[in-house]
């Protein structure tokens, strides 16, 4: 059964308007990315050269990092640093500590879906920014720059669907309704399922192979953040991904749970469940297995299926 990982409540006391801050920060980060993505569908040699892609792991092309990743991250960190005294856990820069202690930490993935971005793959990439306060996740934003859209949430204030061009800001945008359909059963579910940072064979092994055998359809957008965004909009019924970094899912977790959704997180290998204190200690070496859904019954069915598939811990 799903357990909450962070306490919900009112807007963070004594803090700036976190929804407005995340909205502004997403616009800053998206502007940096779109300078490299102005020609939809274009993937010319000049564009590739300008992006200067490198691989963090020479054996895994999915670990590509580009100038767009770095420019967006620098812009996000610089803007947030000027508006909110905080530390950072960021995909490219790692852990950044302020000169004096702060109760806030920003969890940043400046470009989730770098391989899609490099390949010009249909805009399936995202910016993901979450904010912790005293170890609790209190706010999060997932922005899809190519689609000019973002979801922004703060505990106790709801989830807002906004545009990045300013035409629909948090003050004038649509607030999403809480809750998903309770009618979706496992055998009728459409899920985002990927191997995360796991081996290519993991989709053929338990528990992912069991999940795929028991659902109507498995989809993979090549970006956990895009998957979480799709769950929040009820475009898909849930998400199952192993071996994810904290920055891959922290913002999406706030959004899903503020919508009344549910999550289950494990400390990799699908055995030991991770709760709030462990997420707050996440660093650049931490991996987690992630399951989310707006549907409580579906979440519980997935957790039961996974437990049965992996068996007891040896």
pLDDT digits (tens, 9 = 90+) for 228-270: 999 999 999 999 999 999 999 999 999 999 999 999 999 978 9
Nearest alpha carbon to residue 253 among 288, 221, 218: 288
d(CA 235, CA 143): 16
Question: Which residues, 6+ apart, have CB-to-CB distance to 132 below 8 Å?
Answer: 104, 105, 106, 107, 138, 280
With b for 16 or more beta-carbon neighbours within 10 A and e for fewer, the 131-150 pattern comes to bbbeebbbbbbbbbbbebbb
What is residue 36's predicted lDDT score, i.e. its pLDDT?
A: 85
What is residue 60's predicted lDDT score, i.e. its pLDDT?
A: 77
What is residue 144's predicted lDDT score, i.e. its pLDDT?
A: 98
Q: What length does the chain have?
A: 314
With b for 16 or more beta-carbon neighbours within 10 A and e for fewer, the 41-58 pattern comes to eeeeeeeeeebebeeeee
Low-confidence ranges of the chain (pLDDT < 70): 1-14, 38-43, 179-182
What is residue 11's predicted lDDT score, i.e. its pLDDT?
A: 58
What is residue 56's predicted lDDT score, i.e. its pLDDT?
A: 80
pTM comes to 0.92
d(CA 119, CA 43): 7
Domains delineated in the chain: 18-175 (3.30.540.10), 186-310 (3.40.190.80)
């Amino acid at each position: 059964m799903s357990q909450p990982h962070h306490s919900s409540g009112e807007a963070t006391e004594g803090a700036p308007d976190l929804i407005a801050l995340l909205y502004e920060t997403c616009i800053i980060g998206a502007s940096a990315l779109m300078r490299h993505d102005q020609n939809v569908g274009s993937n010319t040699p000049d564009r590739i050269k300008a992006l200067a892609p490198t691989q963090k792991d020479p054996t895994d092309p999915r670990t590509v990092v580009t100038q767009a990743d770095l420019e967006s991250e620098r812009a996000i960190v610089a803007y947030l640093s000027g508006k909110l005294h905080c530390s950072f856990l960021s995909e490219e820069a790692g852990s950044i500590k302020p000169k004096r202690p702060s109760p806030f930490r920003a969890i940043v993935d400046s470009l989730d879906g770098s391989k899609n971005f490099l390949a010009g793959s249909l805009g399936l990439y995202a910016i993901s920014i979450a904010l912790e306060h005293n170890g609790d996740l209190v706010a999060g934003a997932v922005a899809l720059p190519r689609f000019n859209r973002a979801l922004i949430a703060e505990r106790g204030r709801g989830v807002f669907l906004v545009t990045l061009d300013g035409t629909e800001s948090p003050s004038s945008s649509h607030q999403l309704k809480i809750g998903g359909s309770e009618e979706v059963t496992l055998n009728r579910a459409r899920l985002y399922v990927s191997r995360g940072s796991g081996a290519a064979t993991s989709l053929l092994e338990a528990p992912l192979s069991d999940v795929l055998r028991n659902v109507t359809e498995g989809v993979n957008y090549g970006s956990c953040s895009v998957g979480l965004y799709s769950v929040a909009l009820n475009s898909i019924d849930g998400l199952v991904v192993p071996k994810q970094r904290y920055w891959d899912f922290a913002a999406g977790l706030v959004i899903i749970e503020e919508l009344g959704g549910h999550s289950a997180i494990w400390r990799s290998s699908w055995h030991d469940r991770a709760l709030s204190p462990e997420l707050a200690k996440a660093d650049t070496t931490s991996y987690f297995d992630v399951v989310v859904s707006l549907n409580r019954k579906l979440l519980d069915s997935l957790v039961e299926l996974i437990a049965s598939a992996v068996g007891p811990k040896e």
